[in-house]
């Protein structure tokens, strides 16, 4: 990173197996290798990349660690169903979380609209029912595939400012922080398992009735005032929550 290797001769000192993994990642990302498809067997792959079996396997190792493929002894190597681990212990935000794993994350703004808050939104934001709020609808894409549908609601004073920013380019939390000086310090999140509604399913490119996570989150600033309410839908086959638990019991 810092040590800039500009000396042309070596240039790319990326290990062979990294490059192979990259090439395969490409094939998977581009759809050339669809989810569930079986790759060539390892010996063939090794030969086609001109490396040893061991080297190829190192590449597969990388991909498996990222859940891009699964290997099954005696059967073959398969493109994994797209599914993402959300390490619930890491409080990093969604986008940051995934990009840390080397996936390409994009956000598509589906629309913004002022309207009346529904009951849950009003309650969460401590507004009177039917108060005017700004609603944002965004689709998160991971490697080009829809991952989650996010509906955010902001109280109209804040919303008035936010709506002037280019949300297609600037993440919401940056708009809040740098344009409005509002910093989110904590949040409360509730996750439940639901059936996808028709509209949500359409936007997410799957069938209505599919099981999904629904996460409702209220974010607060340091003063404890609610700033934004998010409702996120994530199809169950594209997402997992993992966490580590530590039981202390021993010394008590």
Contact call for residue 47 and DNA (CB under 7 A): no
Within 13 A of 191's CA, how many CA atoms are on the CB side?
11
Choosing from 43, 93, 126, 202, the residue that interacts with a second copy (CB under 8 A) is 93
The Cα-based distances of 115 to 118, 134, 168 in angstroms read 9, 6, 20
Q: Give whichever of 96 and 102 is closer to a second copy, judged by the CB atom.
A: 96
Partner interacting with residue 187 (select from a second copy, DNA, none; CB below 5-8 Å by kind): a second copy
Dist CA 107 CA 141 (whole Å): 6
Q: What are the tokens at 202? A: 């359409």
Choosing from 3, 11, 224, 249, the residue that interacts with a second copy (CB under 8 A) is 249
Q: H helices within 115-225, ranges in order?
A: 119-125, 156-162, 172-174, 198-204
Contact call for residue 240 and a second copy (CB under 8 A): yes
Contact call for residue 242 and a second copy (CB under 8 A): yes
Mask 3-22, x = binds a second copy (CB under 8 A)? --------------------
Q: Give whichever of 77 and 219 is closer to DNA, judged by the CB atom.
A: 77
Contact call for residue 102 and DNA (CB under 7 A): no
Q: Which stretch binds a second copy (CB under 8 A): 3-11, 22-30, 160-168, 240-248?
A: 240-248
Contact call for residue 208 and a second copy (CB under 8 A): no
Helices 42-49 and 53-65, packing angle to 10 deg: 110
SS3 104: coil
Residue 226 · residue 125 · CB < 8 Å: yes
The one-character DSSP state at 90 is -
Partner interacting with residue 4 (select from a second copy, DNA, none; CB below 5-8 Å by kind): DNA
Dist CA 120 CA 21 (whole Å): 46
Contact call for residue 38 and a second copy (CB under 8 A): no
Q: Which residues pair with 153 in a beta bridge?
A: 135, 229
Contact call for residue 96 and a second copy (CB under 8 A): yes
Query: Is 243 exposed, middle or buried, given 0-12, 13-18 or 19+ CB atoms closer than 10 A?
Result: exposed
Q: Which stretch binds a second copy (CB under 8 A): 14-22, 158-166, 198-206, 212-220?
A: 212-220
Contact call for residue 248 and a second copy (CB under 8 A): yes
Contact call for residue 53 and DNA (CB under 7 A): yes
Which residues would be at the binding site for a second copy (CB under 8 A)? Answer: 54, 65, 83, 85, 88-93, 96, 183-195, 209-213, 217, 234-237, 239-250, 252
């Amino acid at each position: 990173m810092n040590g800039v290797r500009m000396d042309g001769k070596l240039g790319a000192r990326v290990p062979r197996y990294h490059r192979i993994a990259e090439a395969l990642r490409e094939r998977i990302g581009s759809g050339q290798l669809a989810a569930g498809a079986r790759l060539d067997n390892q010996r063939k792959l090794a030969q086609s990349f001109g490396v040893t079996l061991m080297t190829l396997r190192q590449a597969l190792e990388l991909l498996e660690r990222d859940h891009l493929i699964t290997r099954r002894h005696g059967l073959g190597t398969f493109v994994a169903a797209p599914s993402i681990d959300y390490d619930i212990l890491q409080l990093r935000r969604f986008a940051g979380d995934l990009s840390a794993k080397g996936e390409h994350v994009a956000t598509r703004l589906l629309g913004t609209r002022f309207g009346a808050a529904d009951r849950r939104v009003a309650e969460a934001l401590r507004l009177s029912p039917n108060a005017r709020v700004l609603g944002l609808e965004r689709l998160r894409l991971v490697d080009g595939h829809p991952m989650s549908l996010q509906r955010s609601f902001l109280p109209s004073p804040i919303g008035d400012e936010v709506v002037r920013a280019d949300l297609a380019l600037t993440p919401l939390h940056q708009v809040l922080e740098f344009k409005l000086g509002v910093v989110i310090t904590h949040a409360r999140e509730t996750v439940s398992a639901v059936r996808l509604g028709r509209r949500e399913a359409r936007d997410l490119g799957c069938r209505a009735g599919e099981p999904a996570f629904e996460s409702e989150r209220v974010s607060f600033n340091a003063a404890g005032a609610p700033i934004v309410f998010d409702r996120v839908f994530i199809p169950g086959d594209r997402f997992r929550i993992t966490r580590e638990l530590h039981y202390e019991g021993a010394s008590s």
